[in-house]
Amino acid sequence: MRFDKPLVAFLIGALATIPQEIYTWILLNLGVGRYSVYQLNSLVITINRPNEVLGILSTFLTGGVISVILYYLLNRIGTDYIVLKSLSTGLLSWIFTEAIFTWLLEGPGLIQHRPISDYFLQSSGSAVFGLVLGFLYKKYLVADSRVQS
């Protein structure tokens, strides 16, 4: 059976969003922010109606694509400090997706502006995503130098 590493990387990226969602829900229940990561991603599709099911689909897709991009980058830059590189990737992807989200939805006024605490909630959630991604990469893709194509 062939070991399809980019597909495994995609699945790792999709699964790494689950602890991110749990973390954002915990903070939401503590009164920090307005949207969990799944709710926020669903707003790109529904505009003003957060929906967790659509959020799961869009977040799994986004997390998987980010993970595959990281997989191919690791082939070029190496796998040393994989957790730190994954953490950086998670935070950089948050900046990129937040810029797109703000440009598409908040800028034109399609949704109300979010409180600043929501940005901290989402960025720290992306850090959780990056850490989990790094640890899963280390366990399933980097062990025994299996990242090479």
Domain boundaries, the chain: 5-145
Residue 1 is predicted with a pLDDT of 37
DSSP string of 91-139?
HHHHHHHHHHHIIIIITTTSSPPPPHHHHHHHHHHHHHHHHHHHHHHHH
Interval 75-94: pLDDT, tens: 999 999 999 999 999 999 99
Stretches in the chain below the pLDDT threshold 70: 1-3, 144-149
% of the chain beyond a pLDDT of 90: 68
Residue 148 is predicted with a pLDDT of 52
